[in-house]
């Protein structure tokens, strides 16, 4: 009788193993089917999302007055695309334009729009870099000792989501002529 019970128990165990999938395998299969059914998801973001603008007016003790208006160019951007799982992220970083107006003793001596075309007129070697970079800052160089016949402005382009940048200094003379120098970093 004991042998019969053991035999029935063994037969029962073998018959209850139907060769079906475990819960883990079933879940994995379901997730794969779901991913295949929805295809690739795309998430698009713009930085900044809406128009932004800053204006800075600075009067220096050497007779220079510098006005810098920087605003987002809503028609031009640099894209950074990356993938995580089944999601494709597209981050669009809008280009900026800075309008610089410089006065010396209340006489306008310079008015320029600082953007990629402006720089390419002075240095066409930047063309490839400008395909992946945006204008990220324009500010007065307050580290330099002021002289009566010049002032300078820093201009920085950066590659979004990296530490890669191009920094230059625009030295403006009292007659409105200027020189642009790259600052090695």
Contact in structure between 167 and 152 (CB atoms under 8 Å): no
**Residue 1 covered by a domain:** no
Containing structural domain, residue 97? 41-183
- CATH at residue 98: 2.40.128.510
Query: Which residues on neighbouring strands pair with residue 58, listed in sequence order?
Result: 66
- Number of C-beta neighbours around residue 95 at 10 A: 19
Residue 137 lies in a domain: yes
Give the count of domains, the chain: 1
Q: What is the pLDDT of residues 103-144, one digit of tens each?
A: 999 999 999 999 999 989 988 898 999 999 999 999 999 876
The DSSP call for residue 146 is P
User: Does 27 reside within a domain?
Assistant: no
Strands 64-84 and 134-140: unpaired
How do residues 32-77 score in pLDDT, each as one tens digit? 777 666 667 899 999 999 999 999 999 998 999 999 999 999 999 9
Q: Evaluate whether 67 touches 57 at the Cβ level (below 8 Å).
A: yes
pTM above threshold 0.85: no
């Amino acid at each position: 009788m004991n042998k019969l019970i053991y035999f029935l128990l063994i037969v029962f165990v073998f018959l209850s193993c139907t060769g079906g999938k475990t819960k883990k395998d079933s879940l994995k299969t379901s997730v794969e089917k779901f991913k295949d059914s929805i295809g690739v998801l795309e998430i698009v973001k713009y930085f900044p999302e809406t128009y932004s603008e800053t204006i800075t007016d600075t009067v220096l003790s050497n007779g220079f007055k510098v006005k810098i208006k920087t605003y987002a160019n809503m028609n031009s951007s640099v894209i950074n695309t990356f993938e995580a799982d089944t999601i494709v992220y597209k981050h669009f970083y809008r280009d900026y334009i800075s309008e610089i107006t410089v006065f010396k003793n209340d006489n306008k001596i310079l008015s320029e729009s600082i953007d990629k075309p402006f720089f390419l007129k002075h240095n066409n070697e930047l063309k490839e870099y400008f395909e992946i970079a945006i204008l990220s800052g324009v500010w007065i160089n307050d580290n330099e000792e002021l002289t009566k016949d010049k002032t300078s402005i820093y201009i920085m382009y950066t590659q979004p989501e990296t530490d890669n940048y191009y920094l230059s200094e625009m030295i403006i003379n009292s007659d409105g002529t200027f020189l642009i120098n790259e600052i090695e970093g």
